[in-house]
Structure 1
Amino acid sequence: MKLKIHPLFWVFLLLYLALGAFFKIGLILFTLLVHEGFHLLVYQKLFRKPVRLTLLPFGGVIETTNPVEFFPGKEFMVALAGPLANVFLIFFLLGLINKGYYDPAVTFLLDFNFLMAAFNLLPVLPLDGGRMLRSGLTKITSLKRATKIVTGLSLATSILVVAAGCYGFMYGITGIDIVILGGFLIILAVRERTKSSFYFLQNLTAKEKILNEQKVLNSRVLTVSQSTPLKEVVERFWPAHYQYIVVIGGKQERLGVLSEREIMEGIVNYGLLKPVGELLSKS
């Protein structure tokens, strides 16, 4: 596994160093490692594939050639693992306090784990909350549409974080770090929204991996008119299902049936604007 440190992580590290918070840096790194360690344990259990971890100030992002977003149920479990790690640490620290072990390090860890869990559960991609929300939506709509819904919510939430950070900074409630994090979340949300336009291309190669991983897939039937462009057909594909497309004519008569693979091959050979009905004469 490769470990990559995001530049923003170093910015926050230098900020804490400038403030003289050397001991807090160690506690923060410990929490981040536990949080990401839970993610990796669940990921390796479900996928058993090599991964790259990009470490961010509020957690990390798992990058792999086998995208978790094409496995909604597994993506939910991988995303949930991180906040659960923080919850376990919170209960452990509360137990120490109840036993009379009251220390500034314990209270700082308790506060930081609570904030980290709450922050990561925000409905913002690529945070854990955003991934869990998208995985739920992907079960009832296409991955592209689910991503667009969540990234729209992500942008709204990120702007609220920036606004709250500005308010807190002006009145001495919080530091400038909240504003920086909010701005960074806006950038990530925009990037995720841009990526959603290419999910149908990723699906072309990922579906074979999904079949190999899960062995059995639910099938789904779409009924479309013969003049429907391939682009509109493929945008309705669900990643966890294998689609069959029933093509009908102007009098609602059935002209033929195409498989998902035939649709994808049509896109490669003829482009996104090709009417689906024209594939029937070529199949």
Structure 2
Amino acid sequence: MKGLWLKAFVSFASYSLISSCGGGGGGSPTIRADLYITDAQENTYQSVIVRIYEINLCSDNACQSKINLFTNQQGVEIDLKRLENVMQYLNTGDIPQGTYNRLEVILDKNLSVDNNPAQFNSISQTNKPNTVYCHADNKCHIRFNGIVQPFSVGKFAVDFDLKQFQINQNTSPWTVTDLLMKPLTPAEVGNRGFVLFLTVNSMGNDSFTGSWMSRTYTVSLNQSTTCSINHTFYSGQQCLQHLQRDMCYMVRVRQDPSAYTSLIASDISSAPQRLCVR
């Protein structure tokens, strides 16, 4: 079976965290949460595209009481292959301090693996921390079943360890038959850069503006910036000459896009329009 890793990072601002077994209850102090998706995958697949609708923290086992970290009614499509050792910024929100018993990701039942249609299956196995349940509306939830609590140092990471990701390629469509999700320590996060999928709004002499999820960024280029536009490589200011308005690009940066809207691009590459959300 083929393997793949996906990681979702919830980065908490530097507040003093007070544990509360009723996490998510009314009146609790809140902290800021920055949500990312990243991948540390093997070179098994060329493209793995999933559509994510929600990411929630639950304070009860059945996820009836939840705090929403991210939601998008149309769903955001993410190509996991493009996120090797970089984090894609999704959203920032407030959550009550406390202890949570589940992390829940709601995503489309259908995904694409190397342009082949595939589907998630409901999965419930004894002595494993994850359950997957698919609903009649063609959405599935994946839950990590165990205490989910922010680290006092200010960062918390959850790893969808899809090294255990298994696909049955003998079915049509292909079916995902197993996966594993677990929390990570801050040390396991490492020194990753960041990536955004931006739709170009305008271009200047040495920068361009682009949008993601109603947030506008100004991206500067310098001599060390590299780019791959329609399979042709450029560097520095040459990149700007080949960018086009209203087109989608994957932009790698070192600055955290949750904290800054003025960024410096280290690399820019063409991306399918479906990966950009204005």
Q: State the TM-score, normalized to the length of structure 2.
A: 0.23
More helix by share: 1
- Choose between structure 1 and 2: higher strand proportion: 2
Larger Rg: 1
TM-score, structure 1 as length reference? 0.23
